[in-house]
Structure 1
Amino acid sequence: MARALLAAVATGSLGFCLADAVEGDCKDGEQQGLSFIQAKAMARDPASKKAVEYHWGSGRGNFPEYAVSHATAPFELAKKIAWTWSHPMGRFATLTYGTAIDHQRNIYLSGADGVRKFDESGKQLWEYESLPAEMMDAPSLHDGKVIGSDTKGNVVALDMETGKVVWKSKVAKEIGQDNGFTMAKGGVALAACDWRNPGPKGEANHRIQALNASTGNLMWSYEPDNPVWNFLPLFVDDGDFVFQDLTGKAYRVDLHTGNVLWKNGGLDGTWTDGGAAVGNGMVFTVHNNEKAPLDGLTEFNPGTLSAFNLKTGDLVWKVVTPRPPNNAPAVGKVRNLDGLSVVMPVCQQVVPGSNCDVHVYSADNGNLQWVFHGPQQTGLLQAGDMEGLAFRTARGVRGMCLPNGWSAPSIDAEGTVFVGNEEGNLYALRDVDGNGVIYGDDEMQSFDTKVLRTWA
């Protein structure tokens, strides 16, 4: 989607997410985050390192409020950009995938050619070059390390200060390029691996691997009932995590043993780009309702958003979405709405002329609360894909991103929703008048990430 990294800074705070390239946010210094002086003091004192809380520790933020920030991000996006970064070889030289932000507001960006670290002013501090392996999953921060995976089947831990390899473990012949998440907590790192057939749409990752986050030693592996796609494990306490497979089936698994506590839901034979979310005592999953492979992709292929009881795995409610729910939702407090809400982007990517919407549902019962009617795909492919195909291929990186229609959304402290679109715009959304429709400059702001179309 976007091929440049941009940061918006308001009174010294970083905010929101940028498409699939920047899924980051941070905590306001006056909220629960650490001050800069505190962070430096803790970094000098090895005994206190465990107390450091990263601003945005993974591509989906921090446990337990994933996709929700304690900072207030700027609503007028186009007026608040503080700096930008593009690859020195040109804006189409790589593909960018996920970000994390540490306790000192340094930003870690993964891409098809490796990982880069920037300070809060945009200065690049170090670069880890991974080619010919590509690092197409969003990394996470854990105990002074940046932990990610690459397409050659490795899980890699980099020193946050230097970018040097701390450990590198081979877990499979290949790890798929499906833009998932490598997550770590409690001394355990989780990654999807074992990219192979069969799958509803060809190859997919068939196995989940747990590693010791300090040493890289293999701990356990688990093969779910169906392959995973855009693997997104979310920790629900100190000992368990949840995820969904590519059919939308939800799993709760013991982090330290790999034992399955429960599994439920999904629709056999289907495939989705979507992922899970947690909140309100529930696990939320998505699946498409049409069996794969589809005879014809259209924007009107329906899907299902389901809510399961976190403890028991029982279905609490489900709703049918009018378009495919092809990303992970966000669960949090949305402006002017009671209780918690589920922000669900819906869109069918790689279909010229298809429309993209954002739906917000009550987390209690699935009632629709508001809708944003977003843009439509105007070209044969999404913004930047065809334009940069030849250049990226010549460099030895993946030619096309083929992103989801929407990025995974995030919610700031004021309940504003931030989400990126396949057409290259980042959106800020809020329902000011409470009429259930996002419309007008006081309810929708956007920023063009400058991935301009030169081919359609």
Structure 2
Amino acid sequence: MARIFRAAVAAGFCAGSLGHAVEADCKGEESPGLAFIQAKALARDGAIAKKELEYSWASGRGNFPNYGVAKDPAPFDLPKRFAWSWSFPLGRFKVLTYGTAIDHLRNVYLSGADGVRKFDSSGELLWQYASLPAEMMDAPSLLNGRLYGSDTHGNVVALDMDDGQVRWKEQVSARICQDNGFTMAKDGVVLAASDCREPSPNGEANHLVKALNASSGKQLWTYAPDTAVWNFLPLFVDEGDFVFQDMTGKVYRLDLHTGHVIWKSGGKEGTWTDGSAAVGNGMVFAVNNNHPPGVASEYLPGTLSAYNLSTGKLVWKEVTQRPPNNAPAVGKVKNLPGMSVVMPLCEQVLQGAHCDVHVYNADTGALRWVFHGPAQKGILQAGDSEGQTDRSYMGIRTLCLPNGWSAPTIDADGTVFVGHEDGNFYALRDMDGDGAIFGDDEVQLYDTYAAFSGSSAPAVGPGIMAIASCDSLFVFK
């Protein structure tokens, strides 16, 4: 209510426009925090939002407000705690799998190139939604009894979580690109990237952000960022807003209900990253590569930047030793004080290139510990060359070509879980405080024999953890 009052006061002194930059909302005001358009107040005035059902892992990055961080512990001893897996019955290479979610009953939802599947906690298939010839490459999101996803034919779709039936389907553009993004939903609004086309710093990419009514599918507003987005990951923050980054690492904070720009900051023009943003510790953490696309080396540096969530001002930035082509996670890491940023680093699809995981102090950017991961063994990542023929036969994209790592998850004990492009799914923790992750009490792994897409992340619920490789689903208890 306080913010509604401030917005109404600001609207009485200055007229804002949805299509204008932040500075145009109220020129001459000393406090940009007061510069909110009247539409903001009208959108929320008098509205008492229904309490959203709480799911264990409601989206590809978990739950608001602590994305990438689980409320529950996950099993560290991965080989001994493996419970079950699912692969396509006619052969694991006949499908590409992407994001996972877990509801309040520990049912697991899996998106893939051929649609969406729901499993109970013991692995029984409960329903499946077939999307072909459109492919569903984004991680889905759960909200009040519905699953929301998007497909490459430009559709955003709402499925009933109970039976998988289509509740609505809205085409928002001719195409949505084949990257590995996230369809996210909160407060009655669904967010998706759209308008796949050139130009961008890296060929075809999505140029628009679309907001839809979660109940009806009606399009609410459209926003065009300064540069196209890649692996679009909108993260909801306080007071009905959300943040995301474009492919250059520029961060945007927008009003969820109007699309109004509150601030935008950072980025390196002309660059491209497979990474996405993260929120936590009162900041937004964004990534960018420091080199233009087309240059490949495991040693090319990038930048991890921390921006004040309220103002968008840069707090700190650190140059990374390898490309930051992944989304970070922000939370409490085992045996470390305060908050940390978990940052996977890798130049993917490069034979012989090593992939590392760095953990930074969220307040200062100081490096806390390092896990030196393996190098990519083959010309392509695990499972890609082996599955081309089968995937071509099924009429889906023939290669996964994912990030070097999955998105990371921090469990309630502070253990870091992340999947590597050569198929190993890792549990990582620093038990002796020496800053180097090594030994059986600090590293556990389970070999899935396939890489992990950027929209894949370990999903954690009470007594259960699920992760999708590029072709199968793996569950640990």
Q: Normalising by the residue count of structure 1, what TM-score does the alignment of the two structures yield?
A: 0.87
- How many angstroms does 1:50 deviate by? 3.9
Any residues of structure 2 matched to 1:127-142 within 5 Å, and which?
A: 127-142=128-143
The residue identity in structure 2 corresponding to 1:208 is: V
**1:340 aligned partner:** 339
Q: Does 1:354 align with 2:353?
A: yes
The residue identity in structure 2 corresponding to 1:252 is: R
- How many angstroms does 1:143 deviate by? 1.3
Aligned equivalents of 1:51 and 1:147: distance in 2? 15
Q: State the SS of the aligned residue for 1:388.
A: helix
Structure 2: gaps (5+ residues): 1-48, 452-477
Aligned equivalents of 1:436 and 1:450: distance in 2? 29
Any residues of structure 2 matched to 1:95-114 within 5 Å, and which?
A: 95-114=96-115
Aligned length: 403
Q: Does 1:307 align with 2:306?
A: yes
Q: Residues 100 and 218 of structure 1: is their aligned pair in 2 closer, same or farther, counting only changes over 3 Å?
A: same
Aligned equivalents of 2:146 and 2:412: distance in 1? 27
RMSD (Å), alpha carbons = 1.1
**1:237 aligned partner:** 238
Structure 1: gaps (5+ residues): 1-47
**2:370 aligned partner:** 371
Aligned equivalents of 1:336 and 1:103: distance in 2? 30
**2:165 aligned partner:** 164
On the 8 A contact 1:418/1:427 being kept in 2, the answer is yes
**2:30 aligned partner:** none
**2:466 aligned partner:** none
Q: Does 1:259 align with 2:260?
A: yes
On the 8 A contact 2:422/2:449 being kept in 1, the answer is no
The residue identity in structure 2 corresponding to 1:399 is: T
On the 8 A contact 1:49/1:143 being kept in 2, the answer is no
**2:327 aligned partner:** 328
Q: Does 1:57 align with 2:43?
A: no
**1:43 aligned partner:** none
On the 8 A contact 2:424/2:447 being kept in 1, the answer is yes
**1:40 aligned partner:** none
**2:397 aligned partner:** 398
Aligned equivalents of 2:367 and 2:449: distance in 1? 33
Q: State the SS of the aligned residue for 1:419.
A: strand
Q: State the SS of the aligned residue for 2:111.
A: strand
- How many angstroms does 1:89 deviate by? 1.4
On the 8 A contact 2:382/2:449 being kept in 1, the answer is no
**1:72 aligned partner:** 73
Aligned equivalents of 1:273 and 1:235: distance in 2? 20
Alpha-carbon deviations, 1:230-289, whole Å to 9, x = none?
000000024100000000000000000000000000000000000000000000000000
- How many angstroms does 1:195 deviate by? 0.2
The residue identity in structure 2 corresponding to 1:105 is: R
On the 8 A contact 2:113/2:136 being kept in 1, the answer is yes
**1:298 aligned partner:** 297
Alpha-carbon deviations, 1:147-176, whole Å to 9, x = none?
000000000000000101000000000001
The residue identity in structure 1 corresponding to 2:367 is: L
State the structure with more CA Rg: 2
Q: Residues 51 and 226 of structure 1: is their aligned pair in 2 closer, same or farther, counting only changes over 3 Å?
A: closer
- How many angstroms does 1:291 deviate by? 1.7
Q: Residues 196 and 137 of structure 1: is their aligned pair in 2 closer, same or farther, counting only changes over 3 Å?
A: same
Alpha-carbon deviations, 1:356-391, whole Å to 9, x = none?
000000000000000000010000000000000011
The residue identity in structure 2 corresponding to 1:394 is: Y
- How many angstroms does 1:49 deviate by? 8.6
On the 8 A contact 2:245/2:251 being kept in 1, the answer is yes
The residue identity in structure 1 corresponding to 2:314 is: L
Runs of 4 or more, structure 1, over 2 Å off, are: 48-52
Aligned equivalents of 2:291 and 2:50: distance in 1? 48
On the 8 A contact 2:305/2:316 being kept in 1, the answer is yes
The residue identity in structure 2 corresponding to 1:321 is: T
Aligned equivalents of 1:49 and 1:161: distance in 2? 20
On the 8 A contact 1:186/1:238 being kept in 2, the answer is no
- How many angstroms does 1:292 deviate by? 2.4
Any residues of structure 2 matched to 1:29-40 within 5 Å, and which?
A: none
- How many angstroms does 1:70 deviate by? 1.1
Aligned equivalents of 2:189 and 2:202: distance in 1? 30
Q: Residues 180 and 153 of structure 1: is their aligned pair in 2 closer, same or farther, counting only changes over 3 Å?
A: same
Any residues of structure 2 matched to 1:146-165 within 5 Å, and which?
A: 146-165=147-166
Q: State the SS of the aligned residue for 1:92.
A: helix
**2:216 aligned partner:** 215
Aligned equivalents of 1:49 and 1:162: distance in 2? 23
The residue identity in structure 1 corresponding to 2:135 is: E
Alpha-carbon deviations, 1:179-216, whole Å to 9, x = none?
10000000000000000000112100000000000000
Aligned equivalents of 1:248 and 1:231: distance in 2? 11
Aligned equivalents of 2:189 and 2:294: distance in 1? 35
Aligned equivalents of 2:80 and 2:122: distance in 1? 17
Aligned equivalents of 1:451 and 1:415: distance in 2? 26
Aligned equivalents of 1:144 and 1:51: distance in 2? 10
On the 8 A contact 1:135/1:151 being kept in 2, the answer is yes
Aligned equivalents of 1:242 and 1:377: distance in 2? 33
Q: Does 1:126 align with 2:127?
A: yes
Q: State the SS of the aligned residue for 2:440.
A: coil
Q: Residues 49 and 85 of structure 1: is their aligned pair in 2 closer, same or farther, counting only changes over 3 Å?
A: farther
The residue identity in structure 1 corresponding to 2:382 is: A
Aligned equivalents of 2:50 and 2:330: distance in 1? 30
- How many angstroms does 1:51 deviate by? 5.1
Aligned equivalents of 2:90 and 2:287: distance in 1? 38
**1:32 aligned partner:** none
Q: Does 1:276 align with 2:295?
A: no
Aligned residues: percent identity?
68
Aligned equivalents of 1:398 and 1:154: distance in 2? 18
**1:10 aligned partner:** none
- How many angstroms does 1:52 deviate by? 2.4
